[in-house]
Amino acid sequence: MGKVIEVNKTTTRSELDKELAKLPKKKEPIDLDNYFGKIDFGVDGLEYQLKIRDEWKRV
């Protein structure tokens, strides 16, 4: 959820700058390559996918 800054005709540039300075800075992105392939699910992903997709046909 974001923050709402109300601006009207009497709002000065310095007041606006103070409010904007209070906003959180962007975080560095997480390098997901460090985690790629680290979880072993015990089942081949493609086999599992095909099994789940075909279950509705067996009923």
- For the cut 80, the answer to whether the pLDDT of residue 40 exceeds it is no
> Which has more pLDDT, 36 or 29?
29
**d(C-alpha 39, C-alpha 49), whole Å:** 17
Per-residue pLDDT, 58: 62
Per-residue pLDDT, 8: 93
Question: Phi/psi at 46 (nearest 5 deg)?
Answer: -70, -40
Overall average pLDDT of the 6-24 stretch: 92
**Domain segments of the chain as ranges:** 27-59
DSSP state of 42: S
Place of tokens 């962007």: 26
**d(C-alpha 41, C-alpha 19), whole Å:** 47
Residues of the chain above pLDDT 70, percent: 95
pTM for the full predicted model: 0.41
